[in-house]
Structure 1
């Protein structure tokens, strides 16, 4: 997919938000297009004044949600045997599917949220959720609240880096892990603070 990077960037530069939505849809449908490439470049375009942060976030989320739902239905309708047999024709690595399955087996539907903050697994987690035919409403909610901070953060990093946005691509998954750690710690911080405030409100 690396050889298509120039094409993807040109697509985003020409079609803007539509391209961001389409490519994020493909990425969340397990096509190996790095979200750092899509959202990182979109972040640069925000820096350059060619995009708006809010609209880019909406486009990325719409595409990501649609791609995730499609992948869920592929898992629900075809099952794991179907994905194992035909997934390779859609660039789905069996090892990635198996890793996502391990996460789902260990954490259940909660993995749909937490794995959205992790590289590789974040896109493949929709498959085991589909295999298990989890409640669609819960799947959509967990996908949304897990994908939103990732989408916004990568856009923000691309915007802050500006012309150096490709640094994220050079660092690769290590950068994703750092971003994931920051997001997890941030979520944990606000969750703990919310719990403490709730306890104080009850005591009062």
Structure 2
């Protein structure tokens, strides 16, 4: 895992160093399109380049936020156009049936805005939140607006952190890994509880 994270970090640094603001945009778009490229590396490194004078704070933040939105919309429309047929056809292999799909629809129709807004600042969750929003057919304009509202402060905060830390921009990586692990464990426990509850309801 350490080797994989190191390779991802090197990929991010090479991408941003060689492509500038567009590299920031592209890296954040990948991270938001259900591909776990960690923004905890992308954004602090971007902040470091602000510190060195290669980037300016606001253009870098806008590029990161725009990438987050673009990748999120890609994942959203994958879920919107392809997610429901895929779940209906193959969902039983993942313990997902029409009943669970209807529950997802209700969840996003009632709390979709808050789900997407908060999901953009949560480790692990932010990478995948747009896909279920698309499956639930959340209003795309609302999804885009709340993605920007949630992503902008996250991007700005981590870029500023990277700028403040300067050459020590990567010193927070162990902390973010622990946060990712904690959130991942919570998601696994939540899934386990749901599966147990679902099995008991059938008995």
> 2:175 aligns to what?
171
> 1:45 aligns to what?
49
> 1:122 aligns to what?
126
- Structure 1 segment 1-204 matched on structure 2, within 5 A: 1-2=4-5, 3-79=7-83, 82=86, 107-174=111-178
Contact 1:40 1:157 in 2 (8 A): yes
Structure 2: runs of 5 or more not aligned: 95-99, 182-203
TM superposition score normalised by structure 1: 0.72
Contact 2:123 2:179 in 1 (8 A): no
The secondary structure found in structure 1 opposite 2:62 is helix
Structure 1: runs of 5 or more not aligned: 87-93, 178-204
Q: CA deviation at 1:169?
A: 1.3
Q: Deviations over 1:3-40 (max 9, x none)?
A: 23213212211211010000100000011110011111
Distance 1:20 1:30, change over 3 A: same
Distance 1:15 1:84, change over 3 A: farther
Contact 2:124 2:180 in 1 (8 A): no
TM superposition score normalised by structure 2: 0.72
Equivalent pairs counted in the alignment come to 164
Partner Cα distance (1:54, 1:84) in 2: 43
Partner Cα distance (1:81, 1:20) in 2: 33
Contact 1:115 1:121 in 2 (8 A): yes
